Structure 1
């Protein structure tokens, strides 16, 4: 086990507790980086002005730097500091905070969700992006296309992607840009969300706005998928919660703390500094274990218990400080509407099996129908 493999391990939390016991901020020689595992260290790193989201010498990953996906990546507010981060954030964040939850509920309810693994996959990976696309003014057909393209684009964000996936990601970035150019030029677009974003971004470069709208899709795609999937796992592990009367907001609030879809993030030290009593050098890399900090007894009492009605819940899942995720409310709203729809169908959750999607930081469950898996095995044996 190491802190990166842990993200997709069946149960990484005892290992995280071991890391916290060994020191909140410690060097991992095997990975050649520092690991922040305690709530105190994580908070300090996320707040420190000399800890940036990208290394100074490589603002865009080399694997995509020469393509369109790299051009988009280089303009994302979540991958920048200073004005390149503040400007798009100040344009987009207020709109996401004022989303009409009833509209989100209506958009989620309009989608057909089936109570099997394929239905869960679509609800997790396709539905959330379609909802955001609709909020921006895309038609349902356009939303489905945007969702498919977003699935291809996010490959450029993963170091695990191969050359073919990266080529597809570049093409997806180009197509997504085209869709957004047409949307921004449409005189009949009546999206209040988009109108507000454009008004607040009036002085910014159009290509930066387009890049960050693509970023909104990509962040929605993985983080919300993981949140919905881990909520389904909580329902599987706690059958008493499988009721339409379950307070879904409380359920999701505890899921995102207890078993977050984003387990870790990284920070890159730009100037020699001291954090949590440790001297760091310029170019040091820090792996920030958000999921470990959530389970720190210094942050939450009885942290290893799953308590939907937990008082004074605290969490780093959506980050903190200047890079705190602006889409937290939207993600929880979409996930909540989706989980309520799943509960209404009363699916046979015990028939599902799952594994975690390969990732260096995400914890996203992929479900299978155990009956179909068993049938496939029997057929293979007969042949």
Structure 2
């Protein structure tokens, strides 16, 4: 076991507990990076101005730097610092916070869901992107295509992707850009979400390609994180069938799932200047693996952290990040996941017959059912 393999292990949490006993920020000699495992260390790294989301010498991964996907990647707010991060965020975040939950539920209900493994897969991966596409003004047919293209595009974000997947990611990025160019030129678009984003974006940056890149980024963030949230909630229900008696509060379930068994297990930060964190001296070029999932289980953050408590008082979590790079779509993801799970459970799926394994990933924990 190591801190990276742990993300897709059947039960990484005892291992995370061992790491926390070794200290908050410790150098892993085999992986040649620092590991932040405690709540205090994770909070300190995420808040530190010299801990950046990309290495200075490689702002875009070399594997995609020369293609369309690399151009999109270079403009994503989640992959930048300073104004290139703050401006898109200030344009996009307010609109996401104002989306009506009833509208989300209606969009989810309009989709044809089936309780078999293939149906669950589509509900987890394709459905959430389709909801966001509809909120931006795309038609249902366009949303289905966009969901497929997003599945191809996210491959550019993974170091595990092979060359054919990266080629497909470039093609998907180009097609997604084309869809947004047409949408932004459509005088009949009635999306309040898109109108607000465009208005705020115009005040901070007039670059249309940056707007399009970050709208594509909205799809890519929705794709994996929401899929994992839905999937890990289903795993929790399989392990706790007593909660399927009809009295389950979906908000409580998802709030605890995202803390207890998060879809994003870790993230990375790259040291840009000499600094000291948790007593450790760091130098430019150092890499820090930030174990969000471990911090969530730190008893200094939550009492009885290894107990799954639907009505947990003062629940605290790093799953959606913290500070300047905290996920702007946290509530939207939870609302989409809640509406999707509610719809799935009305179909009374045979959850006890499902098996699962975790999708290959260096940081995601996303179950695939069969």
Alignment TM-score, normalising by the size of structure 2: 0.99
- For the 8 Å contact 1:7–1:360, the answer to whether it is kept is yes
Per-residue CA shift, 1:265-321, capped at 9, x if unaligned? 000000000001111111100000000000000000000011111111000000000
Instruction: Tell me the secondary structure at the aligned position of residue 75 of structure 2.
Output: coil
Matches within 5 A, 1:296-307: 296-307=298-309
Per-residue CA shift, 1:62-109, capped at 9, x if unaligned? 000000000000000000000000010000000001111100000001
- For the 8 Å contact 1:243–1:343, the answer to whether it is kept is no
Per-residue CA shift, 1:137-190, capped at 9, x if unaligned? 000000000000000000000000000000000000000000000000000000
Which whole-Å CA distance do the structure 2 matches of 1:244 and 1:155 have between them?
38
Name 2:133's counterpart in structure 1: 133
Matches within 5 A, 1:1-383: 1-203=1-203, 204=205, 205-368=207-370
Please report how far the alpha carbon of residue 337 of structure 1 lies from its aligned counterpart in structure 2 after TM superposition: 0.3
My pick for the range that moved more, 91-100 or 236-245, is 236-245
Please report how far the alpha carbon of residue 49 of structure 1 lies from its aligned counterpart in structure 2 after TM superposition: 0.2
Please report how far the alpha carbon of residue 112 of structure 1 lies from its aligned counterpart in structure 2 after TM superposition: 1.0
- For the 8 Å contact 1:264–1:361, the answer to whether it is kept is yes
Per-residue CA shift, 1:3-59, capped at 9, x if unaligned? 000000000000000000011100001100000000000000000000000001100
Per-residue CA shift, 1:235-282, capped at 9, x if unaligned? 001111113331000000000000000000000000000001111111
Instruction: Tell me the secondary structure at the aligned position of residue 306 of structure 2.
Output: coil
Instruction: Tell me the secondary structure at the aligned position of residue 364 of structure 2.
Output: coil
Which whole-Å CA distance do the structure 2 matches of 1:246 and 1:341 have between them?
14
- For the 8 Å contact 1:244–1:340, the answer to whether it is kept is no
Instruction: Tell me the secondary structure at the aligned position of residue 20 of structure 1.
Output: helix
> Residues 184, 243 of structure 1: CA spacing in aligned structure 2 closer, same or farther, 3 A cutoff?
farther
Flag structure 2 segments of 5+ consecutive residues without an equivalent: none
Instruction: Tell me the secondary structure at the aligned position of residue 286 of structure 1.
Output: strand
Which whole-Å CA distance do the structure 2 matches of 1:342 and 1:303 have between them?
28
Runs of 4+ in 1 over 4 A off after TM superposition: none
